[in-house]
A and B are shown apart, each in its own frame.
Chain A
Amino acid sequence: AQSVSQHNHHVILSEAASLELGCNYSYGGTVNLFWYVQYPGQHLQLLLKYFSGDPLVKGIKGFEAEFIKSKFSFNLRKPSVQWSDTAEYFCAVNSGNTPLVFGKGTRLSVIA
């Protein structure tokens, strides 16, 4: 069965700091990878997705993620965070005809 690990439960950063949130998955076959964000009081929104091709994927709001197949990783990055990036971030994976499997989420708090 697929599983997703997000190692950071809560990350606190100052504005303008760089962000990297870890995501590792367990599945040996072809996977589709997603990052979702949940801003306070809002529904989950898709940040970016990877299916195939260039392993460096760019998403909305300046976020990017890199798929490293050998490490089973899909880490989320942003060069300079803003206060408005405060949210919970979820990594998710599926393959073929399976529903998304989500990680437990990482709460990001950005302080001024």
Chain B
Amino acid sequence: DGGITQSPKYLFRKEGQNVTLSCEQNLNHDAMYWYRQDPGQGLRLIYYSQIVNDFQKGDIAEGYSVSREKKESFPLTVTSAQKNPTAFYLCASSIGNRGRLGNQPQHFGDGTRLSIL
């Protein structure tokens, strides 16, 4: 069954620690995205990648890093520089077209909820 898998579902972090959130897709999509969802704030874009080995900052990239070494994987690292990391993180993917995002809808994973201990 094709889809997007995010793991873990819940994650706890001590202050000063980096943590990595996993996102894997088997939809053969070129483009992948990370969003942060906070109550009343909607979804805010952290990073996105249109193609393997390439990614761009979104609106709130500070304190986060990503890599795109494989088409199906787009892990997000929340670094200690992110001062308010407690949030719900959503990964998404879309078909894309020769490196362009186009008008294809995004498909979402179930999310990872990150909390600070």
Contact = CB atoms under 8 A, between A and B. Distances in A.
B62 interface: no
B16 interface: no
Interface stretch (B20-28, B42-50, B65-73, B78-86): B42-50
A6 B107 CA distance: 21
A51 interface: yes
11 contacts: A43-B110, A43-B111, A49-B103, A51-B103, A94-B103, A97-B100, A99-B33, A99-B45, A100-B45, A104-B40, A105-B40
Interface centre among B42, B110, B111 (most CB of A within 10 A): B42
Contact of B103 (A32, A42, A44): A32
Nearest to B38: A104
Interface in A47-93: 49, 51, 90
Contacts of B111: 43
B8 interface: no
Given A44-B108, A102-B42, A104-B42, A97 B101 contact: yes
Main secondary structure of the interface of A (DSSP, over half): loop
Contacts of A100: 33, 45, 106
Contacts of A94: 101, 103
Nearest to B6: A43
A53 to B, nearest CB: 12
B108 to A, nearest CB: 4
Interface string A9-47: 100000000000000000000001010100000111110
Nearest to A49: B105
A103 B42 contact: yes
A82 to B, nearest CB: 23
B42 A99 contact: no
B90 A44 contact: yes
